[in-house]
């Protein structure tokens, strides 16, 4: 019987800048782009005193992505 454990790949990106913070329209555009690529946001983390956030997303790990990651 094959192992049916779902494997994931993760993505973390820092959004915002010290001077302007996180702009809602830019964040929305980024999230829509990620959604079109199959990414699902699972968490956000506010970077204290930096006006930035880390956005953490995941999507199922495909054989193609696994091969790409194994290349030198």
> 16-50: per-residue pLDDT in tens?
988 888 999 999 999 999 999 999 999 999 998 89
Q: Which segments of 1-72 are extended strands (E)? A: 8-16, 40-47, 52-60
**pTM of the entire structure?**
0.79
**β-sheet with 52-60: strand ranges across:** 8-16, 52-60, 40-47
| 3 in any annotated domain | no
Q: What percent of the chain has pLDDT over 70?
A: 94
Q: Which domain holds residue 50?
A: 8-70
Write down the pLDDT at residue 19. Answer: 85
pLDDT exceeds 70 at position 3: no
Q: Please count the other Cβ atoms lying within 10 Å of the Cβ belonging to residue 36.
A: 8
Write down the pLDDT at residue 20. Answer: 86
- Asked if residue 5 lies in contact with residue 24, where contact means CB atoms within 8 angstroms, the answer is no
**Number of independent structural domains in the chain:** 1
| 48 in any annotated domain | yes
């Amino acid at each position: 019987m094959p192992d049916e454990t779902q494997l994931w790949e993760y993505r973390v990106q820092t959004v915002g800048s010290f001077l302007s913070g996180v702009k809602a329209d830019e964040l929305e555009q980024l999230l829509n782009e990620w959604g079109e690529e199959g990414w699902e946001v699972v968490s956000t983390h506010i970077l204290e005193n930096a006006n930035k956030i880390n956005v953490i997303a995941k999507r199922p790990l495909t054989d193609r992505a696994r091969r790409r990651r194994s290349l030198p």
